[in-house]
Structure 1
Amino acid sequence: MRAARGLATLDEVESGDHVCQLLETAETAGERSRAFVADGALFGDKVVIVGADGGSARRLPDTPAPVLIDPARLEGSLLAAVRREAENAGREGFRALRILRHVTADRTGAHPDSMLQSELDLEEFAADSGAMVLCTYRPADWDPPTLDQVTCVHPHHVGSRPAAPEFRVFRTGEGHWTVRGVIDSAGAAAFGAVLRNLVAHALVVRLMCHELEFFDAAGMSALADAARYLPDRQVIIEGANETVRLCWQLSGFAAPEVPVVISP
């Protein structure tokens, strides 16, 4: 069972991990991530570097060169590109795929929703394929709401955990997403953005909430709004405690026009 956790160093990255690494202003992805790339040669993994500075592409003698992907020059989606590399890695005899993604605001110019969707795609890809994905962000380059959205869909982080938001949404099975932590007014906007992206790509979104510690009125309102985002979709909440179920009813959200099913 996949679980959220913090990593002391990049040496602890395992198969299926989707890791968020926040850089200091003066740091580069290469400086902080060189060990992650070098471990690819050590363990026989195919290394793919997306948008990172060249310093992280240095390799040990007699080892395969990393594949470099410039997101600005992709004709299709990043997900399609990494899936192709995963297929090639199996044929080429590599153990697994190891992806370093350095996301810079000046390179992408992307809308926050497309940024979030790309991270959800990579989260699903890592969980389903066993690939190791390390995403690096420099917080000074991003507005706080966008950074909140992308960090909350990384179940793993290296070093200190981002202070906000206080919840994580991550893939734990076919069609299942686990919600862990606290969803209050500080994280409601990010939670709503995640759900809108999920319902846009699935007829039924199943959220496993056994590890949800607290869910306030702002979070419930964000859930209801996201569920109504597309009228033909449904959100199923599993594992919600009795307090959450009661508050949902008392808040007036247990209505036919809100396509949410909450079960124990």
Structure 2
Amino acid sequence: MRAARSLATLDEVESGDHVCQLLEPAENAVERSRAFVADGALFGDKLVIVGSDGRPAPEFADAPALVVLDPARLEGSSLLAAVRREAASAGREGFRSLRILRHVTADHRGPRPDTMLQSELDLEEFAADSGATVLCTYRPGDWDPPILDQVRCVHPHHVGSRPEAPGFRVFRTGEGRWTVSGVIDAEGAAAFGAVLRSLVAHARILRLTCHDLEFFDAAGMSVLADAARLLPERVVIIEGANDTVRLCWGLSGFAVPEVPVVMVP
């Protein structure tokens, strides 16, 4: 069962992990990723690099089974299609799995901010369903904090100490099922709303497992209701909501047919 966790080093990365690595201003992305690449060769994984200019760093040029994808040609769902093709070929070629190293840059060759969240949700789904290992590297100074919050909260695994905000994680734990853990309050409500809107748009029935959700305040409930209203033909099922959450949901006026959300214990 997948669970959110922090990793002390990249040596702790396991199959199926979707890891977020945040760089300090002076840190080098290649140096920080070296252990991830080396372990791929050790375990027999096929390495895919999504780089800033479609070319591998010279230090990785001799890595076995190296495929480089140019981000300028991978907007939206084409990134998911590309890694699925590489995964299929990896199986035929005898590799254990796929290992994806993604250096996400804020220049003109990188993903547009409006597509970043969906691309990370796609990679999260791909990692969970295929067992591939994905490492996404960001330099926080390159991004507006709200954008960075959105992409961080859909990475269940982080290198180093867990970021203070947002205080929740949304990650894939089964077909059509996503787990929500941590705390959803006013500080994280905007990011939670963005994630919900992306998920609802791609699932007729969206199941959110909330047994590990520690706190869910009025701001979080409001963005949940707003996201569900956008596409009334869809249904959001909240599983594991405690008595207090279900009571507050009803008292807030959200337990109405116009809000297609079902809360179950």
- Secondary structure at the aligned position of 2:107 is classed as helix
Deviates more, 1:192-201 or 1:48-57: 48-57
Residues 199-238 of structure 1: pairs in structure 2 closer than 5 A:
199-238=200-239
Aligned match of 1:23: 23
Distance 2:225 2:114 in 1: 19
Aligned match of 1:102: 103
Residues 162-173 of structure 1: pairs in structure 2 closer than 5 A:
162-173=163-174
Cα contact 1:33–1:56 (8 A) shared by 2: no
Instruction: Tell me the number of residue pairs that the alignment of Structure 1 and Structure 2 aligns.
Output: 261
Residues 106-185 of structure 1: pairs in structure 2 closer than 5 A:
106-108=107-109, 110-185=111-186
Distance 2:5 2:47 in 1: 23
Cα displacement (A) at 1:231: 1.9
- Secondary structure at the aligned position of 1:164 is classed as coil
Distance 1:31 1:240 in 2: 43
Q: Rate the CA distance shift 1:149–1:74 in 2: closer, same or farther, 3 A.
A: closer
Aligned match of 1:69: 69
Normalized against structure 1, the TM-score is what? 0.95
CA RMSD of aligned residues (A): 1.4
Cα contact 2:200–2:234 (8 A) shared by 1: yes
Distance 2:85 2:42 in 1: 23
Percent identity reads 80
Deviates more, 1:172-181 or 1:73-82: 73-82
Q: Which runs of 5+ in 2 are unaligned?
A: none
Aligned match of 1:6: 6
Give, as a single letter, the amino acid of the residue that structure 2 aligns with 1:32: R
Cα contact 2:249–2:255 (8 A) shared by 1: yes
Cα contact 1:31–1:55 (8 A) shared by 2: no
Cα displacement (A) at 1:55: 4.5
| 1:54 aligns to 2:57 (yes or no) | yes
Residue by residue over 1:5-59, the C-alpha shift from the partner in whole angstroms, topping out at 9 and shown as x without a partner, is 1111111111100000000112222110011001111111100010156155244
Give, as a single letter, the amino acid of the residue that structure 1 aligns with 2:136: C
Distance 2:249 2:59 in 1: 48
Cα contact 2:104–2:110 (8 A) shared by 1: no
Residues 74-93 of structure 1: pairs in structure 2 closer than 5 A:
74=74, 77-93=78-94
Q: Which runs of 5+ in 1 are unaligned?
A: none
Residues 243-254 of structure 1: pairs in structure 2 closer than 5 A:
243-254=244-255
Give, as a single letter, the amino acid of the residue that structure 2 aligns with 1:70: D
Distance 1:37 1:251 in 2: 50
Cα displacement (A) at 1:195: 0.4
Residue by residue over 1:191-233, the C-alpha shift from the partner in whole angstroms, topping out at 9 and shown as x without a partner, is 0000000011011110000000000000000000000111211
Distance 2:189 2:58 in 1: 38
Cα displacement (A) at 1:70: 1.0
Residues 188-203 of structure 1: pairs in structure 2 closer than 5 A:
188-203=189-204
- Secondary structure at the aligned position of 2:210 is classed as strand
